[in-house]
Structure 1
Amino acid sequence: MEVKRDSYLKQLIERKDNGMIKVITGIRRCGKSFLLFTILKRHLQESGISEDHIIEITLDGIENEELRNPKVCFQFIKDAMRDDSNYYLLLDEVQFMPRFEEVLNSLLRIRNLDVYVTGSNSKFLSSDIITEFRGRGDEVRVYPLSFAEFYSVYDGDYDDAWNEYMIYGGLPQLIEFKSERQKENHLKNLFENVYLKDVIERNKIQSMDEIGILVNILASAIGAPTNPTKIAKIFSSERQMSYTNKTISNHIDHLSDAFLISKANRYDIKGRKYIGANLKYYFTDLGLRNARLNFRQQESTHIMENIVYNELLIRGFNVDVGVVEIFGRDKEGKRVRKQLEVDFVANQGSKRYYIQVSLEMNSEEKQNQEMNSLRNIPDSFKKIIIVNSKSKPWRNEDGFVVMGMKEFLLNEDSLEF
């Protein structure tokens, strides 16, 4: 069953023949290879590009082991180009090749070659785009299926699709599995034997037990502010284990580099500055997060928050957690400083949206709790509350937009209401 991933194809089409290396990054098994070798290749063929002008190389396959040699691979590509018309190179899992940056920089000098590469680790790709490609690397980040993509091929109604997506996430391969046991076992095996093993081996991590526990802590704490110091105290008090702040910070970076988790910085909205402590962490795929916890911890509010965060990233926003500082009175009447939280501050160019995520707002107390931080933001950017319902967007008396999760997820222009 094929899922149309039109937004990613559109990004690649916009970059076609732009003289830059198109670098397709993302977590393993999110569909990068399918995007490259099926969706993009089909588009090229439908655009009139002949088969012999599309060069395909998959470096993670044993059949192409010799092409992991940089010089052999470069010569193979050169030999495949037999005339002066345009050629298109589709190169999968480029991090398997040593010195791949040199190869790609050399390919940039071939004027009739348009290069598309995939990789699964940002240490090898995203950071090197700037330093190694001298501004000639163009990244397209691919995510697991958004809910809209998942729902487009789901055989059932919205409610069933939503419940399944909250539990099993959006890795494309799971669409083919019919039973819950299949899905659960597949996700558990993937996390343990692919994702975590990959992080441990790539970064030569010796403390395997510690990073496994760290993953569990982060999985249990999605949407909650945390930092290495807090985590170190958990190891010390609950596990009687020594795990330094620096090591924890490094291991979190490794998990982020492998696209397993994302960090959301805290932003002081009134002070217009970032607050260094207590970041929030979200999982790129909730199915993997839930599998790590044996599908036990299903807190609807935090899972909703994670889904909204991922959806905003998919739509190309830069996303922070907002903090609004106010002054109030304590029980004794003393003036005290308080910090209110805005779930997300989403920025894209000149656009900004303040977004709260709420399971429900069925009482005046709950409404005030969700709206108080928005009411104290001293600017006129749009303020949105997303609730777990299928209701259409409407504006309340404060001018805030209230919309159901269904509208937010299935309408790519929902924030423009």
Structure 2
Amino acid sequence: MRTPKIRRKTYLDFLHTWQDRDLIKVLSGVRRSGKSTLLALFQQDLQAQGVQPQNIIAINFEMMEFEELTDYRKLQDYILSKVDKSQKNYVFLDEIQYVAQFEKVVDSLYVRECIDLYITGSNAFFLSGELATLLTGRYIEQHILPLSFQEFKQWHVENNPQISQLSNPDLYEMYLQSSFPYTLAISNQQESYDYLQAVYASIMFKDVIPRLKTSDVNALERVAKYLASVTGSAISINKIKNTFASSGVKISFETVKRYIQGLQDSLLFYRVAQFKVRGRELLQSSEKYYLVDVGLRRIMLPDANADQGHILENVIYLELLRRGYTVYVGRVDEYEIDFVAVDTMQNLAYYQVALDTLNEDTLARELRPLQKISDSYPKYLLTLDRIGADANYNGIVKMNALDWLLSKENR
């Protein structure tokens, strides 16, 4: 069973926008987020434009037949043997992190006018200063996340009429099982669970452990499961260390810090720093962590469905990333704002997320941080409420979170 081919407009638009332009196109993202499928769809588009198949050179380094090409010299020789110098050639190097010193062959291919180059990678090497140092000024990057709720629903509308008739809340419950594209083709709960276990193991054993060079897998998994259990809660490394110590597990501050960095580098978790709204400065006291797919909680935690409010918060955070925002946790006086979203023009938007606010005390508590903000940037309260879902509290706009997830405009 193959991964369903979903035309993910934002990501395909990126590839078409930068096609034939003098930059290396980089797709980064967690394993199984759909990068290879996007490249395959783009290659189909190229052929529809009239590009001949022999001018498309595609190598996926997770395929055994290309194992020998993980030597960068052999890779270059292979590609150049396929290139037609009189034509534009489109070269796709998928999961290139398997090639030691890949930057050498990438640089060598990039300077050739007959080659338009696309590369993908599954860890934060492609988001860090390392890549910027190696390919300074020569690349443009698109980060790939698993499916949005909108993409999930659209696929079912087009391919699964029976399920597409479900209400948005019912579809959302299905979406929480996993947003990895391959799971669209799985209807059996046990198969879905087994697939997520395989994805998690692949991330841990192919990305996290080799990068950290650690032999203490149990301690690493303890840290990963702890982060999953406190999704949406502000924590510090010291707090994690002390929590483990209180249960009889000895682990140093530096080890916890290193393990968390490795889990971020694998793109399994995202770290969100705190942002002081008054004064516009970052705070170093504690951070929040969110999973790349909330479905992974099912194989990491004994009670994955606990704390639905923070699960919704995790979903909203990932959607803000998809919409191109840089995201922080806000702090105003002693109050916390779930998200401060900053766009490329440095405009801000504030988001408070709650499962429901039908109780007056809950509503007052969720509004209070937003009411403390004196600037005129947009302020939103996102909940699963249907009653009063379009209320406006002196400029604070309340929206149903599922309607927001399905909306096309950035707001």
Q: TM-score, normalised by structure 1?
A: 0.92
State the identity %.
31
Q: Does 1:27 align with 2:30?
A: yes
Identify the residue that residue 190 of structure 1 maps to in structure 2.
199
Q: Indicate conservation of the 8 Å contact 1:270/1:378, yes or no.
A: no
Counterpart of 2:189 in structure 1 is: 180
> After superposition, what is the alpha-carbon deviation per residue over 1:129-179, rounded to whole angstroms, capped at 9, x for unaligned?
31011211211110011111111123421222101112x120111111111
> Aligned partner of 1:396: which letter?
N
C-alpha distance 392-92 of structure 1, shift in aligned 2 (>3 A):
farther
Give 1:266-281 correspondences, 5 Å limit. 266-281=274-289
Distance 1:233-1:354 versus aligned 2 partners, 3 A rule: same
Structure 2 match to 1:206 = 215
Matched, 1:170 2:170: no
Partner residue, 2:56: 54
Deviations 1:170-195 (A, max 9, x none): 0111111111111112212331x212
8 Å contact from structure 2 (residues 27, 120) kept in 1: yes
Equivalent position to 2:383, from 364, 372, 387 = 387
Q: 2:14 corresponds to which letter in structure 1?
A: Q
Residue pair 1:24, 1:119 contacting (<8 A) in 2 also: yes
Give the Å deviation of 1:379.
Answer: 0.6
Gaps of 5+ in 1: 326-338
**CA shift at 1:201, angstroms?**
2.7
Q: Shift of residue 290 of structure 1?
A: 2.6
| Structure 1 residues 365-394: Cα deviation after superposition (integer angstroms, max 9, x where no partner) | 122111111111121000011111457973
Counterpart position of 1:110: 112
Of the three residues 327, 337, 340, the one matched with 1:319 is: 327
* Residues 272 and 414 (structure 1), Cα distance of their counterparts in 2 relative to 1, 3 Å cut: closer
| 2-structure distance, mates of 1:188, 1:123 | 24
Give the corresponding residue for 1:99: 101
Give the equivalent residue in structure 1 for 2:339: 344
Question: Does the CA-based 8 Å contact 1:388-1:405 persist in structure 2?
Answer: yes
Which residue matches 2:270?
262
Find 2:170's aligned residue among 160, 166, 187.
160
Q: Deviations over 1:68-108 (max 9, x none)?
A: 11111111111211232211101111111111011111111
- Measured in 2, the distance between the counterparts of 1:390 and 1:11 equals 35
* TM-score normalized by the length of structure 2: 0.93
What are the within-5 Å matches in structure 2 for residues 206-225 of structure 1?
206-225=215-234
Q: Deviations over 1:300-347 (max 9, x none)?
A: 10000000000000111100000001xxxxxxxxxxxxx101000001
Q: CA deviation at 1:49?
A: 1.1
In the aligned structure 1, how far is the partner of 2:229 from the partner of 2:70? Answer: 39
Note if contact 1:86-1:112 (Cα within 8 Å) is conserved in structure 2. Answer: yes
- What is the aligned residue count? 398
The answer for the alignment partner of 2:251 in structure 1 is 243
Name the aligned partner's letter for residue 19 of structure 1: D
- Segment of structure 1 superposing worse, 305-314 or 12-21: 12-21
Deviation at 1:395, TM superposition (A): 4.9
2:349 and 2:378 in contact (8 A); partners too: yes
- CA distance in 2 between counterparts of 1:321 and 1:67 reads 44
**C-alpha distance in structure 2 between counterparts of 1:189 and 1:80, whole Å:** 35
Unaligned runs of 5+ in 2: none
Contact 1:129 1:135 in 2 (8 A): no
Please report the RMSD computed on the Cα atoms of aligned residues, expressed in angstroms.
1.6
Q: Judging changes above 3 Å, is the alpha-carbon distance between structure 1 residues 24 and 47 closer, same or farther for their aligned structure 2 residues?
A: same
Q: Which moved more, 1:269-278 or 1:384-393?
A: 384-393
